Amino acid sequence: MSLGARVRGPAAAIFYIFLWAAAFVPSKVAVLDASPVLFLVVRFLFGGSVLGLAAWLLRLPFPASRRAWAEIAALGILSNSIYLGLSYESLRSLSAGMGAILASTNPLILALVAPRLLGEPLSLRKGCGLLLGFGGVVFVMFSRTGTGDANPAAVSLALIAVCANVAATIVFKRLRTEAHLLSISAIQLTIAGLTLTPFIWADPRPHIDWTPRLIASFVYIFFSMSLTATLLWYWLLRRGQASRVSAYFFLTPIFGLALGALILHEPTTRRDLLGLAATAAGIALVQRG
């Protein structure tokens, strides 16, 4: 394998995680002017319509079998409707640090089920790397925020959300279709939007106020997450083992700290750097495992 090919995968994974972490601020801004579920529904249906039209105009292949359509529908429900829906809800009662720690259990849970469901072996080196990476995340977040108030109901919602995202990863890895990634993204976003639509009325006052900041947040989230990050994630999963790719999720809170330092001038400490070093070492072990 050439040097360019070896570098391309990790660089794409790190860029994906950067997009994921950077979307936190516009997402928080968006829900100030809109009901969370209603905002997600509009985002998903708009994204699905735009990507679907693009796939149709470009004459890209769509799924050819009912089974593939059903699996892609399940992908949308798991990765968007359940994962994002429950994650938004859980963060109402969790500190940002605790939310980041719970989200970072994704690679650990996936590593436990991947040997049986995906045929990806869990070697000793990979297991140590996962524990080291997760330990780095916990070290940084606890040193900054303490344990926080871990509301049991909110923690349960967050963990169910993570499990849904893990399930979505498994569904995609086992998906057998010639459909283009753009077509797959369009279908799963549309299904996610339709699935969440009935839950809009659970909010006592569903609303969207199209303020300039909400419009800016919506445009950014569409291009960075619904388009770029989604396609990049599926591309990464097609190229490599799910357990190795998902290990980069450990970088999410690290990027959050980096963006806070860069944009908000928040100070960084030696403990932050130590945690980052442990996380980086853990990811390196996973990739070599």
Q: Where are the domains of the chain?
A: 3-288
Rounded Cα gap, residues 180 and 174, in angstroms: 15
Report pLDDT for 149.
Answer: 52
Report pLDDT for 261.
Answer: 66
* pLDDT tens, per residue, the chain with 289 residues: 455 556 677 788 888 888 877 776 777 777 778 888 899 999 999 999 999 999 999 999 999 999 999 999 999 999 999 998 888 777 667 665 566 667 777 888 888 888 888 888 878 888 888 888 888 877 776 665 554 555 778 878 888 998 999 999 999 988 988 899 999 999 999 999 999 999 988 877 888 999 998 999 899 888 888 888 888 888 888 877 777 777 877 777 777 667 666 765 666 677 777 877 888 788 878 877 6
Rounded Cα gap, residues 112 and 30, in angstroms: 35
Burial class (CB in 10 A: 0-12, 13-18, 19+), 10: middle
Rounded Cα gap, residues 156 and 154, in angstroms: 5
User: DSSP states of the chain as a string?
Assistant: --HHHHHHHHHHHHHHHHHHHHTHHHHHHHTTSB-HHHHHHHHHHHHHHHHHHHHHHTTPPPP-SHHHHHHHHHHHIIIIIIHHHHHHHHTTSS-HHHHHHHHTTHHHHHHHHHHHHT-----HHHHHHHHHHHHHHHHHHHHHH-S----HHHHHHHHHHHHHHHHHHHHHHT------HHHHHHHHHHHHHHHHGGGGGGSSS--B---HHHHHHHHHHIIIIIIIIHHHHHHHHHHS-HHHHHGGGGGHHHHHHHHHHHHS-----HHHHHHHHHHHHHHHHHHH-
Model confidence, pTM: 0.81
Are 239 and 9 in contact by the 8 Å Cβ rule? The answer is yes
Report pLDDT for 1.
Answer: 47
Report pLDDT for 196.
Answer: 93
Burial class (CB in 10 A: 0-12, 13-18, 19+), 212: exposed
